[in-house]
Chain A
C-alpha cells in the first residue's frame, strides 16, 4: 500500500559549484591568519602573566602602556617643570641650574597692589593674568551663549539643516594659524573691511592699533573659530532629551519658554557644564591664534599668560626658564582648580538628579 501523503522526492539536482576564491578573499584570509597568529602568541604570553599575577591584577597590565605614555609625556614634564620653577640662571639642562627655592614664585607675587600691574615687580605677568581673566570671562560667556542659541535653532526642523550645521562646524577644522592669517588680511589697514569702509566714503579703522578693537576682534574671532565644536556637543545634548517630555508639557499647556526653562535647560545642564569647563580650559591656554593675529599688541593689550611664559622662556635673549616655569605652575594650578570645581558641581548635579 502506498502512502498517498508521501510526496515524491525529486532526484537531487547538481549543486552549483562555489566560486573560486578571488584575490580579495586570499588577502583577507592572509590578514586573518596573521591576526590569529599574533593573537595566539599573545595568548601564550598573557596566559603566563595571568598565571603569575592572577586574573584580578590583569587590569593593571592592560592599563600599563597608556600609563607609561602618560608618565613619559605628561607626568615627567610636569615634574621637570616644577623642578625648573625652583631653579635660576639661564642654563638649559637641570643639572646646570642653581637651586633657588621659591625665589621665582616670590618674584611673581611681589606686588604692592595686585589690582594694579604697575605696582608688581613682574608687571607683564600680571598684565597677562588680567588680560586672560577678561578674555576667559567674555570669550567663554559669549561663546557658550552663542553655541547654545545656534544649537537650539539647528535642533529644529529646518530646510537645509545639514548645510547649516556644516557651515557652523567648518571653522573648527581650520588651524588657528590659518584662522588668524585670514582675519589679519581682512582687518589690516589695507584689508577687506577697510577697503569696504573707504569705498563707502568712511574713515579707515586700524583695528590692531586700538586696544579695545584688538581685544574685541580677538574674542570675536576665537568665538567664530571654536563655537561649532561646542554647538555640536550641545546639539547632541538637546537630541538626547526625550520628545515625550515636550509633548506632555504641551498637553499641560506649557509655552515654549516654559518648556525651555523647565525641561531643556535642566536636562541640558550636565552638557552645558562639560562645554563650559572645556571652553574655560581652552580659553586659559589662549596663545597661538592671538600670537599670529596681534602679536600680543597693541602694547600688551592682548598679551595673555601663555604668551608671557613663551616669551620669558624662549623669545627673549635671556632664557629665564625658572621664571617661566613658575608662571606655568601658577597657570596649571588655576586649571586644576577649574577642573575640581567642575567635578564638584558635576557630583552635586548627579546627586540632584
Chain B
C-alpha cells in the first residue's frame, strides 16, 4: 500500500520542480534560431580603492577631481574609503599592508615605516622626470632603502608644525601679542603672555597635540640633538630635549597646558583642535593642516591666526611633514593606478587641489609659482603666509628627523613616557630612560 504522505510529498516536489523550470525559462530566454549573437560585454571597468583620511575638505575636493577623471576614463572607477586618521591610518592600515590586503592607494603620513609596502610607479609613468623635478625632496622620505630612487606617490600636502593663537582673547585681556613686536619670541615669553590672557578670560593658556612629532620642533629649538654620533636615536642624555620636556612637565603641573589632551588620553594621538575651535584656548601648537578646518569651522567667529614658531636657545623651528598619496605594492592594477596618479599630479589639477584645500603645496613648481588659495578670510590667508614663511626657517635637524625611517618609534615613545611624568607615574629621569629603552627595543624588533 502506498504511503499517502510520501505520495503527497512526491506531488509537491514534482510541482516545485515544474515551477523552478518555468522560472528558469523566464530568467534565461531561449535563443532564437537565426538571430544575431548577443553583443559581448563592454570593456571591463577596473575598480581602484583609496584609503583616505580627512583633516578638512580634501576628501570632497578629491572626489570632484576623480569624478572628472572617471568621466574621461570610463574603464576606471575610483572608490575613496575615508577612515579616521588614528584608528584607520595609524593602526589598521599597517596591519592590512602587512597582510597583503591593502588598498590600491592610500594617504599616509608615516612614510619611512611603511615604505616597503609602496609600489614603485616609475616603470608605469610616462614622464618620471616630471616627478623627480617636482617631488624630488619628498620622494626621499618614501624610500624603502636609503638612497633608493623609487617613485611611490606624491605629497597631497606639505605641512609645517607651528602655533595658532586666538587674537580675540588677547584683545579681551588687554595683553599684547608677543609676536607683534618681536620676530623671535621664546617659549617662556609665550607661556607667560598666554597665562595672563587665560587668567583674564577664564580660558586655557596653551595646548599641544598629543604627538611626539609636535614636540620635536620645540625640542630642536631648545637644543635637542636626537641622534648620537652613529646616527642612532638618543634622548636619555639629550640636554636640549630634557629642557623642553621640563617645560612640558612644568606647564602641565601649573595648569598652563590644558590637561585633557596629554593627561586625559593614553596610548594614542590626540589633537587639541576642539578646544581651540570652541574658543577655550589662547595658544595651540599644531600645524598648517588645521588652516582649512579652522577656515570652515571657526570662520570669523573670532580672530585666529598662525604665528611663527617660538624660539629656544638653538633655533625657532617647527617640524616639516605632510601627507602623501602612495601606490600600494599589492595592487593588481598598477597601470591604472599610475594613470590616476598621473592625472592627479598634473599641475593644473594639483593647483586646484591645493588652492581649494588650503594646503601648502608639496609640488616644487607650484610652490615656486604660488597658489591662489580659495579663501576670503584674512585669518586663513595670514596663517598660510606665516606657515609658508616657516618652511624656510626649519632647522636641518628637523628635516633629518622627518626623513628618519624609524621616527614614529621615537615620537610614540616620547609621547607615551612623557605623559607618565605628567601623571606622576614616572620621574623625568625614569621616563627618559624608558623612552630610550622603548626606542632601542622597537628598532631591534624591526631588525629581527
Chain B residue at minimum C-beta to C-beta distance from A311 = B267
* Given A36-B5, A315-B91, A316-B412: A303 in contact with B266 (beta carbons within 8 A): yes
Residue interface bits B403-419, CB-to-A below 8 A is 1, else 0: 00000110010000001
Closest chain B residue, CB of each to CB of A92:
B98
How many chain A residues touch B (CB < 8 A): the figure is 42
Q: Return the CB mask of A283-305 against B: 1 if under 8 Å, else 0.
A: 00000000000111111111100
Asked if B268 contacts A299 (CB within 8 A), the reply is no
Interface of chain B residues 216 through 249 with chain A (CB within 8 A) = none
Q: Which residues of A contact B412 (CB under 8 A)?
A: 316-317
Summarize A's interface: helix, strand, loop or mixed. loop
Is A132 in the interface zone, CB < 8 Å from B? no
Q: B113: CB under 8 A from chain A? A: yes
- Contact of A317 with B12 at beta-carbon distance under 8 Å, contacts A296-B267, A299-B425 already known: no
Task: Indicate the size class of the contact surface on chain B.
Answer: 35 or more
Kindly identify which residue among B8, B266, B408 contacts A300, using a CB–CB cutoff of 8 Å.
B266
Please report A residues at the B interface, Cβ cutoff 8 Å: 29-30, 33-34, 36-37, 88-93, 98, 100, 118, 121, 123, 127, 189, 206, 208-209, 211, 294-303, 307, 311, 314-320
The answer to whether B260 and A206 have CB atoms under 8 Å apart is yes
User: Roughly how many angstroms separate A301 CA and B424 CA in the complex, as a whole number?
Assistant: 11
Selected A-B contacts with CB under 8 Å, 11 pairs: A33-B8, A92-B95, A209-B264, A298-B266, A299-B422, A299-B423, A299-B425, A302-B266, A318-B409, A318-B445, A320-B445
* Contact assessment for B263 and A209 in the assembled complex, using a CB-CB cutoff below 8 Å: yes
- The chain A residue sitting closest to B97, CB to CB, is A92
User: Are A317 and B264 interface neighbours, CB within 8 A?
Assistant: no
The total number of A-B Cβ pairs within 8 Å is 108
Which residues of B in the span 423-441 have a Cβ within 8 Å of any Cβ on A?
A: 423-426, 430, 434, 437
CA gap between A235 and B383 in the complex, in Å: 64
Provided the pairs A123-B434, A209-B264, A316-B412 are in contact, do residues A30 and B448 lie with their beta carbons within 8 angstroms?
A: no
Nearest residue (CB) in B for A124 is: B416
**Complex partner residue of A297 from B265, B408, B445, CB under 8 angstroms:** B265
Please indicate the chain B residues that have their CB under 8 angstroms from the CB of A320 in the complex: 445
B-chain residues with CB within 8 Å of residue A100 when the two chains form the complex: 448
The contact of B9 among A37, A88, A314, by CB within 8 Å, is A37
What A residues does B92 contact at CB under 8 A? 314
Segment 249-281 of B: residues with Cβ below 8 Å from A: 259-260, 263-268
| B22 contacts partner chain A, Cβ-Cβ < 8 Å | no
Binary per-residue interface labels of chain B (8-30) against chain A in the complex, 1 for a CB within 8 Å, 0 otherwise: 11001100100000000000000
Q: Which of B1-53 contact A (CB under 8 A)?
A: 5, 8-9, 12-13, 16
Are A36 and B442 within 8 A (Cβ)? Answer: no
Kindly name the residue among B266, B430, B437 whose own CB sees the greatest number of chain A CB atoms within 10 A.
B266
Q: Are A88 and B448 in contact (CB under 8 A)?
A: yes
Question: In the bound complex, do residue A317 and residue B90 qualify as a contact, i.e. CB atoms below 8 Å apart?
Answer: yes
Supposing A299-B425, A317-B408, A318-B445 touch, asked if A209 and B260 sit within 8 A by C-beta, the answer is yes
The answer to whether A297 and B264 touch across the interface, beta carbons within 8 angstroms, is yes
Measured CA separation A311–B219 after assembly (Å): 26
Q: Are B13 and A33 in contact (CB under 8 A)?
A: yes
Which residues of B lie under 8 Å from residue A314 when comparing CB positions?
A: 91-92, 95
Q: What CA separation (Å) do A298 and B260 show in the bound complex? A: 9
Interface membership of B166, Cβ < 8 A: no
Binary interface encoding of chain B residues 75-107 relative to chain A, with 1 for a CB under 8 A from any of its CBs, else 0: 000000000000000111011001100000000
The CA-CA distance from A336 to B266 in the complex, in Å, is 29
Report the minimal beta-carbon distance from A318 to chain B, rounded to whole angstroms: 5
Given contacts A300-B425, A316-B412, are A307 and B95 in contact (CB under 8 A)? no
- Asked if residues B9 and A33 are in contact (CB atoms below 8 Å), the reply is yes
Q: Does B345 contact A (CB under 8 A)?
A: no
| A299 near B12: Cβ-Cβ < 8 Å | no
Instruction: Please give, as numbers and ranges, the residues of chain B lying within 8 Å of A98 by CB-CB distance.
Output: 448
Contact between chains at A307 and B267 (CB < 8 Å): yes
Closest beta carbon of chain B to A216's beta carbon, Å: 16
Q: Which residue of B lies closest to A207 (CB)?
A: B264
Cross-interface CB contact of A298 among B110, B113, B423, cutoff 8 Å = B423
In the complex formed, the residue of B with least CB distance to A208 is B264
Q: Answer whether residue B127 sits at the interface, using C-beta atoms and an 8 A cutoff.
A: no
User: Judging by beta carbons under 8 Å apart, are B268 and A317 in contact?
Assistant: no
Scoring A91, A100, A303, A316 by chain B CB atoms within 10 A of each residue's CB, the highest score goes to A316
State whether the Cβ of B196 lies closer than 8 Å to any Cβ in chain A. Answer: no
- A97's nearest neighbour on chain B, judged by CB, is B448
Question: Is there an interface contact between B268 and A295, defined as CB atoms closer than 8 Å?
Answer: yes
**Beta-carbon contact of A299 and B442 below 8 Å:** no
A264 to B176, CA, bound (A): 74
Complex interface: chain B residues within 8 A of A89 (CB): 445-446, 448
Q: A29-B8, A30-B12 are in contact. Are A319 and B98 (CB under 8 A)?
A: yes
Assembled-state Cα–Cα distance A30/B12 (Å) = 7
Q: A29-B12, A33-B12 are in contact. Are A319 and B268 (CB under 8 A)?
A: no
* B residues in contact with A91, CB < 8 Å: 98
Residues of B within 8 A of A318 (CB): 113, 409, 442, 445-446
Quote the shortest CB–CB distance from A246 to chain B (angstroms): 51
Q: In the complex, what's the smallest C-beta–C-beta distance from B280 to chain A, in angstroms?
A: 10
In the bound complex, residues from chain A placing their C-beta under 8 Å from that of B422 are 299
In the complex, the chain B residue whose C-beta lies closest to that of A296 is B266
Cβ of B264 to closest chain A Cβ, rounded Å? 5
Contact A209 B91, CB 8 Å, known A98-B448, A303-B266, A318-B446: no
Nearest 5 A/B pairs, CB to CB: A299-B423, A296-B266, A297-B266, A89-B448, A92-B98
Q: How far is the CA of A30 from the CA of B184 in the complex (A)?
A: 87
- Interface membership of B382, Cβ < 8 A: no
In the complex with contacts A118-B426, A118-B430, A88-B267 CB distance below 8 A: no
Q: Find the B residue at minimum CB distance from A318.
A: B442
Which of A88, A100, A121, A299 gathers the greatest number of chain B CB atoms within 10 Å? A299
Is B420 interfacial (CB-CB < 8 Å)? yes
A154–B227 Cα gap in the complex (Å)? 66
Does the CB pair A317–B409 fall under 8 Å? yes
Q: Mark B105-144, 1 if CB is under 8 A from A, else 0.
A: 0000010010000000000000000000000000000000
Within the complex, the shortest CB–CB distance from A126 to chain B, in Å, comes to 12
Contacts A33-B8, A314-B91, A319-B98 given; does A298 touch B263 at CB 8 Å: yes
CB distance from A296 to the nearest CB of B (A): 4
* A268 to B150 alpha-carbon distance, docked (Å): 70
Smallest beta-carbon distance A86→chain B, Å: 13
A30 contact set on B, CB distance < 8 A:
12, 16
List residues of chain B with CB within 8 A of the CB of A294. Answer: 264, 266
Q: Report the separation of the CA atoms of residues A29 and B94 in the bound assembly, to the nearest whole angstrom.
A: 55
CA distance A118 to B95 in the complex (A): 30
Residues of A within 8 A of B113 (CB): 317-318
Cα of A98 to Cα of B266 in the assembled complex, Å: 31
Least distance between B402 CB and chain A CB atoms (Å): 15
Closest Cβ of chain B: how far from A286's Cβ, in Å? 15
Q: How close is B321's CB to chain A, nearest CB, in angstroms?
A: 15
Complex Cα–Cα for A298 and B442 (A): 24
Distance between Cα atoms of A207 and B90 in the complex (Å): 28
